[in-house]
Amino acid sequence: MEWLTVPREWLTSAGEIAKFCGKILGQVYSLKVFRFFGETLRQSGILIVSSTIVIWGLVFIIGLQCGTEGAYFSRSVGAPSQAGVFAAWCDLRELVPYAFGYMMAAKVGTGIVAELGSMRISDEIDALEVMGIDSVLFLCATRLLASWLVLPFVYLAAIGAGFFASYLAVVQQVGDVSSGGYFLVFWMFQNPPDLVYSLIKGMVMATVVVLVGCYYGYNASGGPVGVGTATAKSMVLNIVMVHLIGMLGTQVFWGANPRAPIGG
């Protein structure tokens, strides 16, 4: 059964990851994590200072992209005043969550792997255990709670950055539609539930990225080289998961109901 070894390895590690993530989620859910609330706040601070600017930057570039494509596409079908439809759906529903997920995986996910991995190989995690501190609780659960405290606000601000970039691209750069005409259509094609759905999508991606990062970092082995390999491996799983969550979110939230202000 030579060909079964690879799928079997995947299944084994999927089970291990699920077990580990279940443990972390349980610790946050049972409020045990508040024993280390100071550490949680410290992690929140690190997240704000080191990651937000990069995330907003990537979302901004993607927003420009949505705006450009929308402007040229609506011009090509002879309705340049309707560029707002494309920009609204492209930004809010699809590409802001994806861009957020990509940058979370790249900046925060791999950052956690590198940090926890180096703690593991320099035996700091074992030292924590010796001191009687639950290392999963102290290292992983605090990071998860910190990301839940901070990231909803980061995400909402990122949506703002994306909208601003699309406005710049459609109205200021290509300039087929007036500012008022653009915003009329743009705001008509979205409403608060869409924003909440988009936020849910982004938060699920962020949660998965943090959990995957914790797993690979906590279980790193094999010296400094092993940390590098674990960081690279976590990225593979993160990218696949971000795309799958994006697809499932679209299917669940907008698959049966387009939520458009037109048509029957």
Partner 1 sequence: MVRSVADRAFLPTKNLLEEVGDMMILTGKTISSALRPPYPYGGEFVSQFLFAIKLCWFPLLVSTVAFGFGAPGLQAANFLVIFGALDRLGGFFVLASIREFAPFVTAIVLAGVAGTAITADLGARKIREELDALQVLGVDPVKNLVVPRFLALMLVTGLFNIYALIFGVFGGILATLTNGAPLGPFWATFFTNASTTDLWGSVLKTTLFGAIIAIVCCYKGMTASGGAEGVGRAVNQAVVIAFLGVFAFNYVFTQTLLATHPEILVPR
State the residues that interact with partner 1 by CB under 8 A: 54, 57-58, 61-62, 64-65, 68-69, 72-73, 75-77, 85, 89, 93-95, 98, 102-103, 105-107, 110-111, 113-115, 117-118, 121-122, 223-225, 227-232, 235-236, 238-240, 243-244, 246-251, 254-255, 258, 260, 262-263
DSSP string, 212-233: HHHHHHHT--SHHHHHHHHHHH
Would you list the DSSP string of 96-142?
HHHHHHHHIIIIIIHHHHHHHHHHHHTTHHHHHHHTT--HIIIIIIH
Please state the length of the chain. Answer: 264
Structure tokens at 161: 């950055």
Residue 62 or 83: the one with the smaller Cβ distance to partner 1 is 62
Query: CA–CA distance from 220 to each of 7, 115, 183, 248, 263 (Å)?
Result: 21, 10, 50, 30, 54
* Tokens matching residue 63: 């927003």
**Cβ 34 to partner 1 shortest distance, Å:** 29
Residue 3 C-beta: closest distance to partner 1, Å? 15
Q: State the nearest-atom distance from the C-beta of 120 to partner 1, in Å.
A: 9
- Closest approach of Cβ 73 to partner 1, in Å? 6
Nearer to partner 1, 13 or 35 (CB): 13
Cα gap 168→152, rounded to integer Å: 25
Specify the residue, 28 or 186, whose C-beta has the smaller distance to partner 1: 186
Q: Return the sign of the alpha-carbon dihedral for residues 45, 249, 61, 66.
A: negative
Nearest CB to partner 1, comparing residues 30 and 251: 251
Task: List the structure tokens of 173.
Answer: 């750069």
In angstroms, give the least distance from the CB of 26 to partner 1: 27
Decide whether 27 or 67 has the Cβ nearer to partner 1.
67
Least gap, CB of 260 to partner 1 (angstroms): 6
Write the DSSP assignment of 55-80 as a string of letters.
Answer: HHHHHHHHHHHHHHHHHHHHHHTT-G
Nearer Cβ to partner 1 (54/196): 54
Of the two residues 20 and 216, which places its CB atom closer to partner 1 in the complex? 216
In the complex, minimum distance from the CB of residue 16 to partner 1, in angstroms, rounded to a whole number: 19
Report CA-CA distances (Å) from 217 to 26, 82, 117, 128, 184. 19, 47, 4, 15, 47
